[in-house]
Amino acid sequence: MKTRVVLLAGMLLAIAAFAGTPKKTTSKTAKVTKPKTSTTKTPSNSIPVDAYVFKDNNNREAKITEAHKTIVIEGDGNKIEIGEGNEQIFIKGKNNDINMKRADYIEITGDGNFVSWESTMNPNGKPVIVDKGGYNNVGKRSGSALNKSDN
């Protein structure tokens, strides 16, 4: 049931993003113009070119303290703490233990990740979660929650 709700929410976000796109008009005398687009605004399901990419396969502990609108995790086997001000996270790596202060959109294509978040700006109180990988554990972090290494 959760998966269906998450997929439905993701589809509604995608529809809302494309619904605001102006339509082109053509005629023999009219000039066709492309709508003005901003380089910083992207749909929730695509990775912008200016995203912060973390890639490390050395099973290390890391902290990302700077605020980045979008973060991409490509490394494997890391324990990563992510601070405030981050909206989207794309997890392509595997076997990571990731704890985020804030997440509005989480997309996982890797396997075996343990992902927790503490807050979101989404009105329903939960980030949009798209899990395309396998054996991932995603949930809201509470004060007494376990880390992946505690299991």
> Which strands make up the sheet holding 61-64, listed edge to edge?
61-64, 79-82, 97-102, 114-119, 137-140
For 49-97, how does the pLDDT look when each residue is reduced to its tens digit (9 = 90+)?
Answer: 889 999 888 788 999 999 999 999 998 999 999 998 888 999 999 999 9
Kindly indicate the confidence band of residue 17, based on its pLDDT and cuts at 50, 70 and 90.
low
- Please state the domain extents for the chain: 45-141
Q: Measure the CA–CA gap between 37 and 40, rounded to whole angstroms.
A: 9
Judge contact between 72 and 54, C-beta under 8 A: yes
